[in-house]
Amino acid sequence: MKKIYNEIINEELYYDVLDNGLRVYYIPKKGFMSKYAVLGVDFGSNDLEFIPINENNKIRVNEGIAHFLEHKMFEQPDGGNAFDKFSELGVSANAYTGFNMTSYLFSATENFYPALEHLIQYVQTPYYTNENVDKEKGIIAQEIKMYDDDPKWNVYFNCLKAMYSNHHTRIDIAGSVESIYKITPEELYKCYNTFYNPSNMILFVVGDLDEKELMEVIREANDDTISRNNDIKTFMPKEPEEVFKRKIVEEYSVSMPLFYIGYKDKAENLEAKDALKKEVTTDILFDIIFSESGELYKQLYNDYLVVGSISGGYLPQKDYAYAIASGASKDPEKLKEMVDNYIDDLRKKGVDPVDFETNKKKKIGGFLKSFDSIGYIANNFLSYMFKGINFLDYLEVLKEVNIDDVNSRLNTFFLKDKSVISVVVPKKEEQ
């Protein structure tokens, strides 16, 4: 394996590419008892339009299919379930589907290599039949209905729907009951054969392991007969810069109104380090505006307009980006007005140098501390790598950001006319 040493954070990164195209990364953590592996696929709920492998015409698959496929990966041709093997080995396994990728993972203190072999092999073994697909539809339909009744989930998704008019990120990751009942085994195989190609996947491992032995196990477990597919073509409807709706309000069984404020950003085709600098700069600016130690929060708290903290952050992806701030308030629309006024005033006078230095140091400390969590390292590295960014560069870029960068970013983002608010209020009979 090739090796990169990052002097700033004193971490080593080993990497290699198998003959079938699978990219493998490993960060050694000497003395750690626990080991962690995550196998990621560059395929998420947003990937609804693409040209299937060995075909010429674009298709659109049913909404929620990436999440559905993730569920079905655990069912094996012998009738067993992949989770059963993990349980026998005494390891903790999971999987999740996001807008842009699907991940299969486990952590272990013992039996790591047998578990790693199992992880690779079951993800390379699709098994979809009419019977097992129809069975899964009922299970996922119940999951969708559960989220339909969840005010926290809906206030978040309504924020996305308010920001985006065409982009697939406005579509629920699990799809709808109607869409998942249209999914067929043939459609699942088209998605699997196109996207679950090793050249479209990354394996990331963290722990106290011997890198040579690790690669031997990985090579042995992989199917090298799979040919690379490096030319996956996906499509996304054109998205206007303007927001779709300025406000969405719905009633749910809540005791206090919940809110999400969204700021729509323009996705830019930047070099990796430039994209990372834009992200880090925006993250610092977000913390300056919304942190509990900031002036805005003190104003909202003193006016009894915020309950608890305001959470959120900046979420940039390959073809879209936005920031969200969420919390609870007795009057979310008044809170939004105060936020708008505060940001306008901050734009006129500029960010306070002390606030900038405080938040930058806080972010540096948080990043360094996070490297004690092997799960955090693996999952963040994976998501950044699919965006073409080396996560080990984060601290270097963070240290380079200065107050001029933050003030410049403030002039182009957190703009009122590119913002939306999603609110969930108590049902009238419960008020």
Report, in angstroms and rounded to the nearest whole number, the Rg of the chain calculated over CA atoms.
23
- For this structure, is 88 an active site residue? no
What are the structure tokens assigned to 295, written together? 């002036």
- Neighbouring C-beta atoms of residue 418, cutoff 10 Å: 18
What are the structure tokens assigned to 319, written together? 């073809």
Q: Which of 7, 11, 55, 70 is catalytic?
A: 70
Which is it for the CA torsion 335, 340, 343, 349, positive or negative?
A: negative
DSSP collapsed to 3 states, the chain: CEEEEECCCCEEEEEEECCCCCEEEEEECCCCCCEEEEEEECCCCCCCEECCCCCCCCEECCCCHHHHHHHHCCECCCCCEHHHHHHHHCCEEEEEECCCCEEEEEEECCCHHHHHHHHHHHHCCCCCCHHHHHHHHHHHHHHHHHHHCCHHHHHHHHHHHHHCCCCHHHCCCCCCHHHHCCCCHHHHHHHHHHHCCHHHEEEEEEECCCHHHHHHHHHHHCCCCCCCCCCCCEECCCCCCCCCCCEEEEEECCCCCEEEEEEEECCCCCCHHHHHHHHHHHHHHHHHHHCCCCHHHHHHHHCCCCEEEEEEEEEECCCCEEEEEEEECCCHHHHHHHHHHHHHHHHHHCCCHHHHHHHHHHHHHHHHHHCCCHHHHHHHHHHHHCCCCCHHHHHHHHHHCCHHHHHHHHCCCCCHHHEEEEEEEECHHHC
Best CA proximity match to 205, nearest among 401, 51, 13: 13
- Neighbouring C-beta atoms of residue 254, cutoff 10 Å: 16
> How far apart, in whole angstroms, are the C-alpha atoms of residue 11 and residue 27?
7
- Neighbouring C-beta atoms of residue 158, cutoff 10 Å: 23
What are the structure tokens assigned to 411, written together? 């002039």
Question: Are 246 and 421 a contacting pair, CB within 8 Å?
Answer: yes
Which residue numbers are catalytic?
Answer: 70
